[in-house]
Structure 1
Amino acid sequence: MMIHEITPLAGKYKNRKRVGRGPGSGVGKRAGRGQKGAGSRSGTFTRFQFEGGQMPYFRRMPKFGFSNTKFRELFWLVNLRDLVQSDAFKSGGEVTAQALIEAGLIRDDSRSVKILGALPEGQDKLSVKLNVTVNRVSDSARKLIEGAGGSVNETGTRRDNVRGVDRNSDDRSPKNQTKKAKRRAFQERKAEAASRGEVLKKS
């Protein structure tokens, strides 16, 4: 076999369709573009979901409901077993977001950090003393850390701070009233005033 006899595998390459080369080809005179209009001329561009000018599908559909997706809080999740098995924390110490980054347990500080209570297999107690200062700590992790003589300080997420939630307190109800809570409180005061024959105006 000579080098000029070597050919590619059958079907690997497909011949280019030559258009506008006579009526016998089936794509001759108008080259498969039809008659006139923007589509028959060069330089045309049709954006995604364009339907020729008619009302597009997405705008025809009714909209309802609400999604919290854009307000969701993203976390880096770190288990207690990850801390115990890490060289940086196997003998205890201070656990902060920066310390976790340096230990390679989280990538960066672009998200909040949450500590979970999963221990290494076969263990039911934490064997090292950890002083944890992160955004969130699960209840099971808090119990294990404090049981080993450590401490937990939850700084809370941005949403916690806006709502006035103290994560280190037993009472974790929001202290800052939301619009909905304020509206409900006003309706209750208004109903009480109406029962006394008074008119309560919104301040």
Structure 2
Amino acid sequence: MRLNDINKGVHKNRKRLRIGRGPGSGHGKTSGRGHKGQGQLAGWSAPSIFEGGRSPIIRRVPKRGFNNRHGKIVKSINVSDLESAFEAGADVTPELLRTSGVAKGIWHELKILGDGEISKSLSVSAHRFSKQAREKILAAGGSVSEVPGPAALVKGQKKVRNTEQSASP
């Protein structure tokens, strides 16, 4: 190591750059911002999607599909996941799968699929089962029960609103 290798604190006591203080500073007049245009304004910075004024790609690409307000998100879990996550004789419910972290994310219904092998006898309850998953769970000595999904509104039926209001503080 030599003295020229030491660079810690080189800029520690460096003087603040004073811009807009005459041509001798090298940063006078326009203060390093150039002439005219949006970039000269204080506090201005281009949005990350700004393409210099041309029609942005988000507007050039056509719209596709729609967001289904009434669609249900179905989470699928394989029997091999149940095999590794639970002990023999356990009662497996959608709530237990959600809290234990086996079925992560946002979902409304749970479907058990038949990928992998299962040797433990489990009492599994879910909203849906594939034919193969049902056969494998029953063959391992377990039981299967279907849980009704979240209640859907029938067309024309209105939501019941709570009309009671709490007293003002």
Using structure 1 for the length normalisation, give the TM-score: 0.48
Return the structure number with greater relative CO, CA threshold 8 A, min gap 6. Answer: 2
Which structure 2 residues correspond to residues 1-203 of structure 1 after superposition, within 5 A?
Answer: 6-8=6-8, 19-23=19-23, 26-35=26-35, 39-50=39-50, 54=53, 56-58=55-57, 60-61=59-60, 63-66=62-65, 73=73, 75=75, 77-86=76-85, 89-101=86-98, 104-106=100-102, 110-111=106-107, 112-119=109-116, 126-155=118-147
Quote the Cα distance in structure 1 between the aligned partners of 2:49 and 2:135: 53
Structure 2 Cα separation of the partners of residues 27 and 74 of structure 1 = 61
Code of the residue aligned with 1:83 in structure 2: it is: L
Cα deviation digits, residues 92-124 of structure 1 (max 9, x gap): 24220223345x24266842433232445xxxx
Consecutive unaligned residues in structure 2, runs of 5 or more: 156-169
1:78 and 1:105 in contact (8 A); partners too? no
Over 3 Å counting, the alpha-carbon distance change for 1:62 and 1:23 in structure 2 is same
* CA–CA separation in structure 2 for the residues paired with 1:100 and 1:139: 21
Query: Quick one: structure 1 residues 156 and 67, their matched pair in 2 at CA, closer, same or farther if it must change by over 3 Å?
Result: farther
Aligned counterpart, 1:179: none
Could you list the structure 1 runs, at least 4 aligned residues long, displaced by more than 6 angstroms after superposition: none
Partner SS for 1:132: strand
Cα deviation for residue 142 of structure 1 reads 1.3
More helix by share: 1
Local SS of the residue matching 1:115: strand
Distance of aligned partners of 1:58 and 1:154 in 2 relative to their CA distance in 1, 3 Å threshold = farther
Quick one: structure 1 residues 57 and 69, their matched pair in 2 at CA, closer, same or farther if it must change by over 3 Å?
farther
The answer on whether the counterparts of 1:97 and 1:109 sit within 8 Å (CA) in structure 2 is: no
Give the Cα separation in 1 of the matches to 2:16 and 2:72: 50
TM-score calculated relative to the size of structure 2? 0.55
Q: Is the Cα–Cα contact under 8 Å of residues 49 and 56 in structure 1 kept in the other structure?
A: no
Aligned residue type for 1:33: R
Change (3 A) 1:151 1:32: same
CA contact (8 A) 2:50 2:56 kept: no
Seen in structure 2, the aligned counterparts of structure 1 residues 142 and 19 have a Cα distance that, compared at 3 Å, is same
TM-fit CA distance, 1:59: 6.2
In 1, the alpha carbon distance for the partners of 2:29 and 2:147 equals: 73
Which structure 1 residue ranges, 5 or more long, are not aligned? 121-125, 165-175, 177-203
The one-letter code of the counterpart of 1:133 is S
Count how many residue pairs are aligned between Structure 1 and Structure 2.
147
Tell me if structure 1 keeps the 8 A contact 2:113–2:130. Answer: yes
